[in-house]
Structure 1
């Protein structure tokens, strides 16, 4: 029985040079910055709702999701990527006890987190858009 590769790009990237992985890390930070802007926009739109709408449980659920996304997930992901980039810097300086394999393993972990978050964020935005259309 063979195992299917869910993301063929992931396998390619993990065998790529550190400069390619560094570039992908920078892309992740750009994505997070865009997502932060989107969340800020969504928050502004939602806070303009009438008092009656604000008592809706779906409305409260969306606001709680926004707070969780912004406060926990973005900051945690961003910090993980920044620490990941610091590890690359140490590897390039030749610090003892570090290898590019450490960097690649961490990169794979962050890649999986980014993929999961991207899917979850798309679901969240769909829920928000459906809520807005329903009003």
Structure 2
């Protein structure tokens, strides 16, 4: 289904089908929801009195709150992206396939970076909790 450019700058390489991109966006929303649940677990873990008293524990709690806020922003961006797809599919003026795909690529990159950052945060929390 991929179209090749015939030399024209206006030609778009179609790449992945829109339904595959939609599916990936929905999957991201599930991942973000799971991360939020994990974050609540970390909040409960870090609310212990021993952890609360330490400077490192307070730093971990602060990072956990930052992650929760970022989850909300990330989810909002994905939902807005899904709305952009709905506008694209209904052929509304001012909505382009290329803009949608560029935003999708940006979100894909953000999800990858955030997954790595959150993985490192979890290692820190578990490492700290093991030492107690």
- Stretches of structure 1 that go unaligned for 5 or more consecutive residues are 1-13
The residue aligned with 1:91 is: 88
The alignment of Structure 1 onto Structure 2 pairs a total of residues equal to: 119
Q: Is residue 118 of structure 2 the alignment partner of residue 121 of structure 1?
A: yes
Give the aligned CA root-mean-square deviation in angstroms.
1.1
Q: Which has the higher helix share?
A: 1
After superposition, where does 1:53-92 map in structure 2 within 5 Å? Answer: 53-71=51-69, 73-92=70-89
For residues 96 and 115 of structure 2, the distance between their equivalents in structure 1, rounded to whole angstroms, comes to 29
Higher Rg of the two aligned structures: 2
Tell me which of the two structures has the higher relative contact order, counting C-alpha pairs closer than 8 angstroms and 6 or more residues apart: 1
The residue aligned with 1:33 is: 33
Q: Normalization by structure 1: what TM-score?
A: 0.85
Q: Normalization by structure 2: what TM-score?
A: 0.87
The residue aligned with 1:17 is: 17
Superposition deviation, residue 65 in structure 1? 0.3
Superposition deviation, residue 49 in structure 1? 3.1
